[in-house]
């Protein structure tokens, strides 16, 4: 009768002989044949080498393509920003797909892969955020002007964008690691609502500043009128906008109040329409009255930066004959407008003086009354006119 240990020894010996007679790449190690480990290692090494080759190529061509093609330059920057500590875990986890591993080992590789890729995505997303912000902030306004000072407001935009992206990536990473994130998101949502209610006015001004940055209703240096306040924009902050008034003092506007008001931006003016009028007294000869619009037209057309629109005998007023003229100043500069108007006025005075036309002088009729005299008139008459 054979002893049980004899059978066990016989089986072990047979297994050892079979193992020794099998090629190394077909032998099983921890449940996987040798060729599987070789293939997994080759795949991981190939992925790492491909990463290094691609990054070196990106570094070589990045400088020549950055200015020619912004989108391609962004793609190359993203490729160049990949970190080895993120690529190696990704290559190792990809190679693990060729192997049959214990649950604990597979969970370890998966956790390292999720953490590394999430960190890499957070770092890479900053390039995309900066690219989008730079394009939006430096985008010319409707009049073709750009405002470099508004780039300072991009800091808060970058912070908020990265905060949101970071929260999303952390939630995705925890979810992939098997953590239940629904209660966490619910708690953050309730806390966010509470904070938003407590900081309502601050958040209102903050989002108003973002509206100013992206929509560009005005830029630093623009001359604006808000209600009965007017001045030049000095700075646009996160909460307030500061305007230098013509009288010298600084006006501070809340961003939310500023956007809820009607804003007149004179810097965006391309041409200035000017309407002016004058009057000549009754009794002016008809020939002179008929010639006055032509005189006004000649005076306006003599100005190189003015475009004549019209000049008319507007009305027969109660005290004078009224004229109205309209022209356009081909510049938004107020000083240019005043120089042109002054020149036109001088030409009209000279032309009227040469032709004998008098300008009407406003007069006020009043009478002196004496309470002791019946009828309210003094014995000398109704008084001076």
**CATH at residue 278:** 3.30.70.100
Residues 29 and 87 in one domain: yes
Does the pLDDT at position 116 exceed 90? no
Q: Please check whether residue 323 lies inside any domain of the structure.
A: yes
Query: Using an 8 Å Cβ cutoff, are 173 and 112 in contact?
Result: no
Give me the pLDDT at residue 1, please: 47
In a domain, 7, yes or no: no
Whether residue 186 has pLDDT greater than 50? yes
Residues 336 and 280 in one domain: yes
Residues 6+ apart with CB under 8 A from 115: 173
Q: Give me the residue label for tokens 């970071």.
A: 166
Report how far Cα 271 is from the mean position of its chain's Cα atoms: 26
Q: Are residues 33 and 130 in the same domain?
A: yes
Q: 256 with 278, same domain?
A: no
Half-sphere exposure of 131 (CA within 13 A, CB side): 16
Q: What is the pLDDT of residues 6-15, one digit of tens each?
A: 544 544 444 4
- Among 247, 268, 289, identify where a domain stops: 268
Q: Residue 37 burial (CB < 10 Å; 0-12/13-18/19+)?
A: middle
Q: How far apart are CA 101 and CA 30, in angstroms?
A: 8
Which candidate, 343, 259, 333, 255, places its Cα nearest to that of 299?
Answer: 343
Report residue 269's pLDDT band, with 50, 70 and 90 as the boundaries: confident
Residue 361 located in a structural domain = no
324 backbone dihedrals φ, ψ, rounded to 5°: -140, 140
Q: Specify whether 284 is located in the same domain as 351.
A: yes
Last residue of a domain, one of 137, 153, 171: 137
- The band of 189, judged by pLDDT with boundaries at 50, 70 and 90, is low
Burial pattern 305-314, b for ≥16 Cβ within 10 A else e, equals ebebeebeee
Residue 211 has pLDDT above 90, yes or no: no
Whether 262 and 282 map to the same domain: the answer is no
**Residues 279 and 258 occupy one common structural domain:** no
Residue finishing a domain among 235, 268, 301: 268
Co-location of 281 and 251 in the same domain: no
**How many Cβ atoms sit within 10 Å of the Cβ of residue 87?**
19
* Burial call 180-216: b when 16+ CB within 10 Å, e when fewer: ebeeeeeeeeeeeeeeeeeeeeeebbbebbbebbeeb
Phi, psi of 146 (to 5 degrees): -120, 160
106: helix, strand or coil: helix
- The answer to whether residue 376 is domain-embedded is no
58-67, 70-79, 290-299, 340-349: least confident range? 58-67
* Contact between residue 17 and residue 61 where contact means Cβ atoms under 8 Å apart: no
Rounded CA gap, 375 and 225, in Å? 53
CA dist 326 and 321 (Å) reads: 17
Same domain, 218 and 232: yes
Q: What are phi and psi of 238, to 5 degrees?
A: -70, -35
Residues 276 and 314: their CA atoms lie apart, in Å, by 11
Is pLDDT of 179 > 90? no
Structural domain total, the chain:
3
Q: Which domain holds residue 329?
A: 272-355
Query: E strands of the chain, at which residues?
Result: 28-29, 32-33, 223-226, 229-236, 240-245, 250-254, 263-265, 272-280, 306-316, 321-329
Q: What is the pLDDT of residue 284?
A: 92
User: Are 129 and 28 in a shared domain?
Assistant: yes
Tell me the per-residue pLDDT of 122-153, one tens digit each, with 9 for 90 and over.
888 888 888 877 776 666 555 555 555 555 56
> Does some domain include residue 219?
yes
The pTM of this model reads 0.49
**CATH number of the domain where residue 236 is located:** 2.30.30.60
Indicate whether 249 and 287 sit together in one domain: no
Q: Is residue 249 part of a domain?
A: yes
pLDDT of residue 130: 80
Within a domain: 155: no
* 233 within domain boundaries: yes
Q: Are residues 232 and 296 in the same domain?
A: no
């Amino acid at each position: 009768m054979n002893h049980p240990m004899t059978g066990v020894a016989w089986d072990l010996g047979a297994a050892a002989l079979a193992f020794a007679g099998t090629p190394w790449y077909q032998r099983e190690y921890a449940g996987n044949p040798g060729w599987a480990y070789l293939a997994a290692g080759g795949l991981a090494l190939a992925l790492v080498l491909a990463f290094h080759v691609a990054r070196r190529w990106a570094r070589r061509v990045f400088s020549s393509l950055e200015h020619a093609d912004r989108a391609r330059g962004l793609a190359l920057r993203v490729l160049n920003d990949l970190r080895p500590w993120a690529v190696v875990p990704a290559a190792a986890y990809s190679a693990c797909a060729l192997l049959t591993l214990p649950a604990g080992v597979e969970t370890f590789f998966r956790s390292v892969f999720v953490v590394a890729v999430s960190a890499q995505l957070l770092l890479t997303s900053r390039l995309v955020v900066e690219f989008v912000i730079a394009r939006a902030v430096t985008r010319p306004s409707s009049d073709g002007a750009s405002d470099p000072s508004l780039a300072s407001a991009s800091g808060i935009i970058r912070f908020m964008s990265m905060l949101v992206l970071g929260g999303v990536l952390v939630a995705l990473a925890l979810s992939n690691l098997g953590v239940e994130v629904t209660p966490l998101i619910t708690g953050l949502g309730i806390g966010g609502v509470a904070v938003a209610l407590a900081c309502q006015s601050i958040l209102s001004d903050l989002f108003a500043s973002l509206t100013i940055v992206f929509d560009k209703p005005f830029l630093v240096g623009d001359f604006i009128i808000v209600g009965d306040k007017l001045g030049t924009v000095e700075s646009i902050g996160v909460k307030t906008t500061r305007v230098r008034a013509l009288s010298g003092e600084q006006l501070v506007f809340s961003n939310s109040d500023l956007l809820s008001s009607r804003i007149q931006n004179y810097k965006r003016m391309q041409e200035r329409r000017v309407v002016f009028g004058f009057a000549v007294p009754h009794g002016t000869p008809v020939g002179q009255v008929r010639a006055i619009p032509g005189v006004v037209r000649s005076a306006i057309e003599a100005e190189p930066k003015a475009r004549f629109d019209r000049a008319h005998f507007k009305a027969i007023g109660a005290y004078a004959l009224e004229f109205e003229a309209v022209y356009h100043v081909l510049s938004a500069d107020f000083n240019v407008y005043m120089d042109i108007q002054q020149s036109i006025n001088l030409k009209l005075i000279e032309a009227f003086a040469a032709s004998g036309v008098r300008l009407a002088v406003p007069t006020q009729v009043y009478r002196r009354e004496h309470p002791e005299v019946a009828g309210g008139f003094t014995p000398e008459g109704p008084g001076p006119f």
